[in-house]
Amino acid sequence: MVSKILIANRGEIALRIVRSCRELGIKSVAVYSEADRQSLHTLLADESVCIGPAKASESYLNVANILSAVEITGADAIHPGYGFLAENAKFAEICKTHGLVFIGPPPSIIRLMGDKNKARQTMKKAGLPILPGSDTVIEDLTVAKKTASKIGYPVIIKAAAGGGGKGMRICRSASQLEDMFPIAQGEAKAAFSDSSLYIEKFVSGARHIEIQVIGDRQGKVTAFGERECSVQRRYQKLIEETPSPFIDWKTRRRMVKEVEEAASEVGYQSLGTFEFLVDKDRKFYFMEANARVQVEHPITEMVYGINLIKAQIRIAAGEKYVPPYALEMRGHAIECRINAEDPVTFAPSPGKIDFLVLPGGEGIRVDSAAYGGWVVPPNYDSLLAKIIAYAPSRDLAIAKMRAALETTTIVGIKTNIPLHLDILSNTDFLAGRYTTQFMDEHLAAKAAEEEETA
């Protein structure tokens, strides 16, 4: 087992790793930017080191400064969390070169999954179904138009080197493609330093379903039941739940089996998430795999009674992963991402939290690094907290979540809690009748209502 882990991240995920280290009896080192000097992960870790100014490129993405923190503290492992350097194959290689345990997949897997088009083709060879699309990356508009015509509109353009909605555009005609292609290229270049794109068929009315995997160094891969992630705005997830109200046991069993086989074939190690689009007939198509821990991993932990972060650390130390005796989903879990943003305009709302009351009680879990008096910096993503509700049934989990949100008090900044409460009252959401178009439809309906009453 490793003895001291440097956490190359911030916010709630850094704090989660600190707590998991404590449970395992491992010392933790927090690194922080000048903007995060008073952040909880910095205050609660065993040691902390400032690695630069607020700008991420000069701190959380500054490999030289992170390695200096390793040398100062004597850490023998690095956990990258999610975002920042978590899916940076070069960083994983540097860690290995310096004799550090990188708590994540090996560089070869990170590199494979980071090339979204290559990952699609590899998973196709491994037996996973994929949507019709380009076989190679596309950098030329003429080639893009020929490819889209062959696939058939509507199509979706995606950045080959990354995700998170950057470089993604839906095109329903050749003229739209002509307009959107250079915009998507520019976004991809700015976000990932790579303007390469690929094109695939766009499936209207689909669900976004993902499968959690964990692979150890002995070659054993375990896949868990699905997470439903269809409630999203501009490809950013807002609410996740497990099990999906749409996926039946037969589809679940097939997805888990095929993902386990495909992940085993490529030698997957550590945590990872295989993401799919599922159409109205429950036919599923591989989209991408994220070679890291996901933001929404807590809901899988709740229904399986496991700690994925602790398992990830043990695997990195060379231990064999032993899944729970009864590997089955029990109950229902739902997660709401609480962001520091205006619930109507979605404009970021950084600033000082004057007063804070987070929810609690039976079946409620809160992953957060926020506290009263903390100043939310404007330099990073707006995630404040993840509120997770767990209950024997979906209806009870939703009821618990509503009660939790209604008793959450955050004064001094705006949050999207009103939006979450609104979604949890939507009849289609309550009935489980929602797709990836849900938020567009929901927001359009709300805007129409407000126009009528104005």
Non-local CB neighbours of 315 within 8 Å, separated by 6+ positions? 214, 215, 216, 217, 269, 270, 321
What span, in angstroms and rounded, lies between the C-alpha atoms of 121 and 136?
9
Which value, in Å, is the radius of gyration of the alpha carbons in the chain?
A: 21
**Strand-strand pairing, 355-357 and 197-201:** unpaired
Asked whether the beta carbons of 229 and 278 are under 8 A apart, the reply is: no
Asked whether the beta carbons of 50 and 58 are under 8 A apart, the reply is: no
DSSP class of residue 34?
Answer: G
What span, in angstroms and rounded, lies between the C-alpha atoms of 413 and 394?
31
Q: Which of 120, 292, 314, 365 is catalytic?
A: 292
Both structure tokens of 34: 């000048």
Distances, alpha carbon 208 to alpha carbons 91, 167, 275, 305, in Å: 30, 18, 7, 24
Q: Where are the beta strands (DSSP E) in 262-342?
A: 270-278, 284-290, 332-339
337 is known as an active-site residue: no
Non-local CB neighbours of 109 within 8 Å, separated by 6+ positions? 266, 267, 268, 269, 272, 291
Q: Which of 367, 372, 401 is nearest to 384 (CA)?
A: 367
Q: List the Cα angle 160/161/167 in 5-degree steps.
A: 65
Alpha-carbon 10 to chain mean position: 15
Please give the positions annotated as active site.
292
